[in-house]
């Protein structure tokens, strides 16, 4: 499933856990099923572990790309 169309963007640069996950989770709650959230993140533990683990547990499709050293774009599709 391609996550090409972004419905909302969340910029959490400069934030660390648990705030990165809390803001991501709260923003996903505001989406309708099928919508895609793009998260811009500069905190490696959140981008590589915390947010992907949350998405896997919830069954949300996720694509993550590292744009530059220390900057990730994570696309998450809400399914429920």
Q: Which residues of the chain have pLDDT under 50?
A: 1
Catalytic residue among 6, 16, 17, 44: 17
What is the side-by-side strand order in the sheet with 36-41? 8-11, 36-41, 71-77, 62-68
Q: Give pLDDT tens digits for 62-75.
A: 999 998 899 999 99
Task: Say what the pLDDT of residue 1 is.
Answer: 47
Q: Is 41 a catalytic residue?
A: no
Residue 30 burial (C-beta neighbours within 10 Å; 0-12, 13-18, 19+): exposed
Domain ranges of the chain: 8-77
* CATH (residue range 8-77): 3.30.110.40
């Amino acid at each position: 499933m391609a996550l090409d169309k972004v419905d909302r963007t969340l910029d959490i640069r400069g934030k660390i856990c648990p705030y990165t996950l809390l803001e991501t989770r709260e923003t996903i709650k505001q989406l309708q099923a099928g919508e895609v959230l793009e998260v811009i993140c500069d905190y490696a533990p959140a981008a590589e572990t915390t947010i992907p683990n949350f998405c896997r547990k919830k069954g949300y499709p996720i694509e993550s790309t590292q744009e530059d050293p220390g900057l990730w774009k994570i696309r998450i599709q809400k399914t429920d």
